[in-house]
Amino acid sequence: MGRRIKQIAAKPTLTNYLLSLTDERPCLFSAAVAFLALILRAMALLSLKDSIYFDFLLWDERVYHTWAMKIADGTYQSTSIYEFAPLPAYLMAFIYTLFSPDILYIRVLNIILGTLTCYLAYLIGKEVANRAIGLVACLIAALYKPFIFYSIVPLKTSLSLFLFALAIYFITAILNKPSPLKVLLLGIIAGLMLNVRMNYGIIIPLMLFILLLRLSKENAKLKALLVISVLFIAGTAMSMSPFLARNYKVAGKFALTTTQSGFNLYLGNNLENPDPYYRPVPFASSSPFKQGVQFTIEASRRMHKKVSPQEASLYWSREVLTAAVEQPAEFIWKLFQKVLVFFNQFEAGDHYHIGFVSNYVGFLKFPFFSLWLILPFGMAGMLVSIVRCKKLLALGAVFFLYALTLIAFFTNTRYRLPVAVILIPSAVIGIHVLGSFLKNKEFRNIALYASIVLGFFIVEFLPIRGTDDMTAYLNTHALILESKGFKDEAMAYWEKSSHMDKPFSAFANLSLAGRYFVRGDTERAVSCLDKIPENSFAAAAKHEMAGDMLVHQGQIEKAIAAYQRSLEINSGQRRPRLKIIRIYAKIDREKALQEKKQLRYISSFYDVF
């Protein structure tokens, strides 16, 4: 493929023009495109600053900000294995120690990482094909809206994307010209990746396999293969060792990944959830501060003994396997839906929806590149060129394995974002190769390319269940509005979410019930609660709020029953149990003591920070 591209480049084509243009100063042009990427991200941040989304931390943002501040001030005392990927928290803590605990510094860091990711797109394109391909890939990356967006929000996504792009660059560089230093650095990057996003773990063995396969085809001796293996493993161990050592020190166990894998696997394959996307469950809070803990509590309840987060993770993994064996047809249908979702144009977010936020951030209204355009051409470029280019074959294998992790768990915008690092240069190479097909009148290849593009365009726009659900983003927008004092506007967005009658409408109904209750409109509050089904993730909160209303009305026995029903659904809650204790402290001290004992047991699980 590399030779063919050079041959084509010798003819009067756009690639040839770009190559001749950059011959004298190749670094200048790539730096100029990277600078454009930096300017665009700075402008996007300034535009975001004028919106309500700028100074409100969403779920994972709040987790990592809180965690980083505790590390920075020396108060992080958890004795459990990491529940969340630790590297972003320590990096944030370093920034906070260096400057101050202001989340703006993390946004600036993410802009820098996002800009470097665009430059890496240039290097990847250059290593796979040539400078011209790299420059166009860099330009597309600079103008790719999801890349821009996740460079300006204080999530770990920008770090995750940067490390993935860095790994892809080193893979292509090693395939072109192996060296021990490159192998060691790739190993270090692999270890860091695992401590940012656990599903990167599956591609780490593939990296080593690609390196060994490359050397074996050059008839490398066994000693050389062993040296490469040792260097890669040593680099990985080097970057993982601080986190492994900490886990062993506090918990007495070596743990390669976080304790989230089991319950995330369950969330992605829960057959009671008809949607192919992430949906919370009734027995655990959707809050990242509580969700993992309450999954552990529920596993302990079902196993009739107190279990560790690791044991709970294994339990939930076994639950998924059991469901697959007992209901194979339903499980296969679920997986098939998730395959379609992976290739769908809908940008499902667990924090932000870029399209929704773009309505309130002027700069993001510009028609930048989006997934719906990149994916079909990227897949066509990869599939048409993969047999001709060994480097694209290696990147295709990484793409495939990483895609499998999202299909096994669940897909959302930020988890799917790394595949664009492979899709963007693949799209540029594919379009370039298509030009040669047209020039040489290779009609079969033209038809193959066109059919692949058309096929993925069709798949992208299939009406899959859940792709029309905007309720979570309406709820978030309402929550931010209320936090800024715009209560009536917030109510309007919650009402809109409620009327859509989707899974996350339950949160809107819960929020509306609380606001109506505060206003003294108990009838409307109860009506909102009645809309929340018993199998909803908000069912436990629904009964707790019903208990609060009954206490207010003086119906104590019914209030106790409501609180107990809430705890039957989610036994890991502490607040409803505290409310029961307060009631029993006045009317039945023995029951109050029993509930206090249970509360102490539940509280013993809460050791996230």
Tens digits of per-residue pLDDT, 12-63? 455 565 556 556 566 788 889 999 999 999 999 999 999 999 988 888 899 8
Give the model's pLDDT for residue 7. 42
What letter represents residue 404's amino acid?
A: L
pTM: 0.91
Taking every pair of Cα atoms in the chain, the longest distance, rounded to a whole number of angstroms, is: 91
Spatial contact of 550 and 559, defined as CB atoms under 8 Å apart: yes
Tens digits of per-residue pLDDT, 464-484? 998 889 999 999 999 999 999
Residue 377 predicted with pLDDT over 90: yes
Tens digits of per-residue pLDDT, 411-432? 999 999 999 999 999 999 999 8
Average pLDDT of the chain to the nearest whole number? 90
CA distance 160 to 414: 9
Least confidently predicted of 74-78, 154-158, 579-583 = 74-78
What is the SS3 assignment for 369?
Answer: strand
Q: Other CB atoms closer than 10 Å to residue 540's CB: what's the count?
A: 24
Spatial contact of 148 and 107, defined as CB atoms under 8 Å apart: no
Give the model's pLDDT for residue 368. 94
Residue 9 predicted with pLDDT over 60: no
Give the model's pLDDT for residue 234. 94
Tens digits of per-residue pLDDT, 335-376? 999 999 999 999 888 788 999 999 999 999 999 999 999 999
CA distance 228 to 233: 9
Q: What is the dihedral of CA 71, 74, 75, 81, to 10 degrees?
A: 50
CA distance 382 to 129: 13
DSSP symbol at 465: T
DSSP string, 40-101: HHHHHHHHHHTSTTTT---HHHHHHHHHHHHHHHT-----S--SS-SHHHHHHHHHHHHS-S
CA distance 549 to 542: 11
Spatial contact of 70 and 101, defined as CB atoms under 8 Å apart: no
Give the model's pLDDT for residue 525. 94
Spatial contact of 69 and 101, defined as CB atoms under 8 Å apart: yes
215 vs 3, 204, 206, 429, 456, CA distance in Å? 20, 17, 14, 25, 35
Beta bridge mates, 369: 144
Residue 561 predicted with pLDDT over 70: yes
Between 167 and 79, where is the model more confident? 167
Tens digits of per-residue pLDDT, 211-220? 888 887 776 6
Give the confidence band of 1 by pLDDT, cuts at 50, 70, 90: very low
Helix (H) or strand (E) holding 448: helix 443-460
CA distance 498 to 515: 14
Between 389 and 71, where is the model more confident? 71
